[in-house]
Structure 1
């Protein structure tokens, strides 16, 4: 055993050295600050106390919570807390949902409390389920409809919007709304020249560009059945109005040609079974009230 007098100390600080030296530099055995040690010991004690009272240790064979985790003396569970919070939220909405049941759009608009409830409940449902595709404000993106305007493929009345929400578009539901534009280029139904010609004719229907005889001929043979002779479309088939200047997949000549070539095939989920009927009611009213909703008397024309 070495004598204390043999312990080497740094000449400048008086601190003991570890005995290690690199390139003439000696390592000091500087003790940790007391305040740091006290904090460290406190965290160790806190961790032990937390482990005893709160869920902490993954389940081990033979331990309480085997295969899961130890529950702790408080038997705390955030899952239980979340369920309780959701139940409380639903209970607080009960009166609003009861008032919404069977209410017309005009009744909702003329009842400030009901309108406020629909706005809050619908906004929450929209943010959770619809905003990913349609945008937080319903503004849409290329390939995803804008819900703020008055342009609708399947109708913009409250009942039509609710039906779309329930059954979806091209979704896995027996009552889903379904329409499909052929992929004229990919499936070699039309030549490149015919696709370009009919694209020019389609653009001319909305006052963009000039038509041509070949495009008119192809349109009459391939497009009239769905988009109608005047190009105003047919909501019963989900066929867009080609005479306005609203384009779901882009309005440039290249984008229109691409749409004809590949035949767009967008899908909207069916929310029946995923959301309860009351939430769908609130969501349909919310989408209607975004600004693009139509009166129930509106006819099935346009997009």
Structure 2
């Protein structure tokens, strides 16, 4: 240790250390830095007094202001919940077929329906509602609807389900099995005719005749389907279980008919209405049937 001395060029005392001829000056801290330090100490003391600061066993010191981030979040959530209550009240009053007339309320319904869809429906129909042809879950983005694609039809399906056990008004259809009914050549001819309905290859007289006798009553003379019976269209390119020859053959011999649970009693009326609006908004929703004006329903007119 070398004794302290005054550095002649600067007039500043050294700290007494030297390393290879290099000495350290004991330069005082700048005043502004010291005042900043003192202010932060004062600020820290005031903060500890006013706000939660010291952690305890199951909570923290509350502070004289009684503020907490949890309390602030609860207040914000309360405001959001109250606004959502208002939206739900409006949705509960308006008939679903009138919902698109109020663009702001419809947008809120779609947003709420999207969230409910992800929780309750995406497991089968997929997060993007594209469904699964392998498992027979319908794609809700296209415009092919077995039971109807307007808002009321979608809502009815959600409320009552499809082939949902124990539900009196559930949607239901039954395609009989034609196993051991056709000879191999007849089955091949019928499959070819079904494929020809949407332009995939030629048909034959035998196939057309077999279709007319066994299939046209439900699926229509040209494969246009029948929504009252739940018979799907066969003359478009949208297929629930696939459109290969093997897929069609399998459906004729051993029909696959899926089920959808009813959501009445599981979801409240407003949530069902929101999910219906979301599904309808995906791009394949059909135009609504005009309804009579109901003077008892309050609807905010949009410009």
TM over 0.5: yes
1:222 corresponds in structure 2 to 214
Q: Who is 1:152 aligned against?
A: 145
* 1:255 to 1:89, Cα distance in 2 relative to 1, 3 A: farther
Secondary structure of the corresponding residue to residue 281 of structure 1: helix
Which residue is equivalent to 2:224? Answer: 232
- Superposed CA RMSD in Å reads 2.5
CA distance in 1, matches of 2:260, 2:99: 29
User: What TM-score does the superposition give when structure 2 sets the normalisation length?
Assistant: 0.65
2:259 to 257, 267, 290: 267
* Structure-2 residue corresponding to 1:29: none
Q: CA deviation at 1:145?
A: 1.0
Within the candidate set 163, 171, 180, 2:164 is matched to: 171
> Is 1:208 matched up with 2:206?
no
* 8 A contact 1:195–1:261 mirrored in 2: no
83, 89, 101: which one aligns with 1:98: 89
The count of residues paired between Structure 1 and Structure 2 equals 215
Deviation at 1:98? 1.6
- In the alignment, what sits opposite 2:119? 128
TM-score scaled by structure 1?
A: 0.65
For 1:158 and 1:126, locate their aligned partners in 2 and report how far apart those are by CA, in whole Å.
15
Q: Distance in 2 between matches of 1:250 and 1:197?
A: 18
Report the Cα offset of residue 106 of structure 1: 6.1
In structure 2, C-alpha distance between the alignment counterparts of 1:171 and 1:237, rounded to whole Å:
16
Q: 2:128 aligns with which of 137, 140, 144?
A: 137
Conserved in 2, the CA contact under 8 Å of 1:105 and 1:285?
no
Which residue in 2 is equivalent to 1:193?
185
Structure 1 spans left out of the alignment, 5+ residues: 1-48, 55-85, 299-303
Q: CA separation in 2, counterparts of 1:196 and 1:87? A: 65
Q: Using the TM superposition, give the Cα deviation of residue 243 of structure 1 relative to its aligned residue in structure 2, in angstroms.
A: 1.0
Check 1:130–1:204 CA distance in 2 against 1; reply closer, same or farther (3 A cut): same
Q: How does 1:69-108 map to 2 (within 5 A)?
A: 91-101=82-92, 102-104=94-96, 107-108=99-100
